[in-house]
Structure 1
Amino acid sequence: MTTGIDEAIGFIDGAETTMGIATVHIDMLAIAADGNRVLTERIDRFERADGSEIGRVTLMGIFELKGDKIVASRDYFDTNAVQQFGTG
């Protein structure tokens, strides 16, 4: 879990260092809104700098908005799918 921009950037930088993730492609499957909440179903595809795929995960996410800013974000996914990165 991260709080704030600096922690989020640090998390992303750490993923690049520890897992070799250079790019994330997001394929949106479905999206719905309920008041200030936006729910998403998507596939996140992670790639190395050379374009080869590290792995992909199907997940559900929720963003909570205040005005035009995201004030909270959570993702729900099968952790076993992430553990398979680099083994397939």
Structure 2
Amino acid sequence: MSTQQILVERFLHSWSVGLEEFCVTVEKVFTDTTIWENVGYSTTTGAAEAVEHLRKSAGRLGWTRVDAAVLVIAPAGDQVVTERVDHHLDADGQVLFSIRCASVFDLSEDRITAIREYFDTAPLVAAGAAGCIGE
């Protein structure tokens, strides 16, 4: 297993622990210039902006953690591609909504330099997040 794949797996796993654990992980593995693009939804630059967006999203949508069910993970040089289903859960562990997602992670050494995520925003709209789309 490649070190890049391990980094991405750890990154995704920290999301399932909880929002704060995930924010700490983002701060550790993002650079000041890491671009996290959620196509059709949001784009952030750097760890601080990503963490701010995560906290706003959690506050608006009510999720406290996300279980990322990885269906496919494929390292390719300095990139890792995933297909997964992200289950957004509330504080009681109930699934609020799930999003099927394909992602490309760009990595340099032990840092994530970019993430491009492609997903259908319909579950966000159904969860009442229509006002969040495009932020």
**Shared topology, TM-score over 0.5?**
yes
1:69 to 108, 111, 116: 111
Q: What corresponds to 2:12 in structure 1?
A: none
What is the deviation of 1:16?
1.6
- Tell me how far 1:38 sits from its aligned partner: 0.6
For the pair 1:27 / 2:27, whether they are aligned, the reply is no
What letter corresponds to residue 50 of structure 2 in structure 1?
Answer: A
Over the matched positions of the two proteins, sequence identity in percent amounts to 35
Q: TM-score, normalised by structure 2?
A: 0.60
SS in 1 for 2:127: coil
In the other structure, the counterpart of 1:4 is 46
Q: Distance in 2 between matches of 1:38 and 1:68?
A: 13
Q: Distance in 1 between matches of 2:111 and 2:126?
A: 33
TM-score normalised by length of structure 1 = 0.90
- Structure 1, 76-85 or 55-64: larger mean CA deviation: 76-85
Measured in 1, the distance between the counterparts of 2:73 and 2:126 equals 26
1:17 Cα offset (Å): 1.1
Specify which structure has the higher proportion of helix.
2
Q: CA deviation at 1:2?
A: 0.7
Deviation >2 Å, runs of 4+: none
More strand by share: 1
Instruction: Tell me the C-alpha RMSD between the 2 structures.
Output: 1.2
* SS of equivalent residue, structure 2 residue 44: coil
Question: How much has 1:50 moved relative to structure 2?
Answer: 1.7
